[in-house]
Amino acid sequence: MVTFESQHLNLNQIASSGQCFTWRRLGEGRYLIPAQGRTVEAVQAGDRISLLCAPKEFESVWRDYFDLDTDYGAFLSAIPASDPCLTAAARLGQGIRILRQDFWEVMVSFLISQNNNIARITRSVAELCRICGAPLENGLFSFPTPDALAARSAEDFRAIGLGYRAEYLANLSATLSGGGEAELRAALEQTSDEEARCALMSLRGIGRKVADCILLFGLHRLDAFPTDTHIKRVLCTYYPDGFPFARYRGFAGVIQQYLFYFDL
């Protein structure tokens, strides 16, 4: 077991922040968290977080996954007291971080997320893992690979309730199976945010908002600022004269998460 303290890591906040759909809640402040073909049980009481794994695994997997080497306190301190909306949002969501999730898992999850709600996205992702993933410990299933998804048809995806997104998923999986996903990821890592966004938007079913989610959550491009219905509402309500993006250059996506969580 590994125990540490952090003022800026709150499991409950992250679990309900809409960036990840595969955590399983075990109880208050307790989650079973899958990543990289493993799972870890995480327990939080106040600022103390315990991960039930060996120190070696913590260093090789979970330190990176939880983005523990990024200083979120510095992001929070950029918020001026003169901004009542973000001040409230930051107080509410000060334990949110941008997880370093798997690129493909993020692509698929947010492809499904369009015109959808978080509860149903979570169920759909669980169903996908169940019918196409590999069984892990504790009854969870790994997130299916591009090849595993490409072996299924759009009808299979419709059968688990993906609706019109089933065609998008079948097409995306066919396009990126056979090594295409790794190629795309490697290529995107060499490009600017704008070029990467443009490349992602060339894929059927991925528009501006989903592309920005993939940039932020799947490639850790912290400048990406996905604008969905919640963010539009917040910006329209609290920032009718424009949002001060320049102030948050380099981490606007983190700020976006505070606003999103605030609106939920």
209 binds DNA (CB under 7 A): yes
**Strand 24-27 with 2-5, pairing:** unpaired
Of the candidates 107, 122, 111, 105, the one whose C-alpha atom is nearest the C-alpha of residue 17 is 122
Q: Which of 37, 55, 80, 207 binds DNA (CB under 7 A)?
A: 207
Catalytic positions are 209
152 binds DNA (CB under 7 A): no
Kindly report the number of other CB atoms within 10 A of residue 245's CB atom: 11
Of the candidates 63, 61, 81, 78, the one whose C-alpha atom is nearest the C-alpha of residue 9 is 63
Task: Name which of 58 and 258 has its Cβ closer to DNA.
Answer: 258
180 binds DNA (CB under 7 A): no
93 binds DNA (CB under 7 A): no
Task: Name which of 204 and 249 has its Cβ closer to DNA.
Answer: 204
**How many residues touch DNA (CB under 7 A)?**
39
Least distance (Å) from DNA to the CB of residue 96?
9
17 binds DNA (CB under 7 A): yes
- Spatial strand order of the sheet with 38-45 comes to 2-5, 48-51, 38-45, 30-35, 24-27
253 and 216 in contact (C-beta within 8 Å)? yes
List, in order, residues 6 or more apart from 240 with CB less than 8 Å away. Answer: none
228 binds DNA (CB under 7 A): yes
Least distance (Å) from DNA to the CB of residue 142?
22
Task: Enumerate binding residues for DNA (CB under 7 A).
Answer: 17-19, 110, 113-121, 158, 161, 163-164, 201, 203-211, 213, 226-231, 233, 256-257, 260, 264
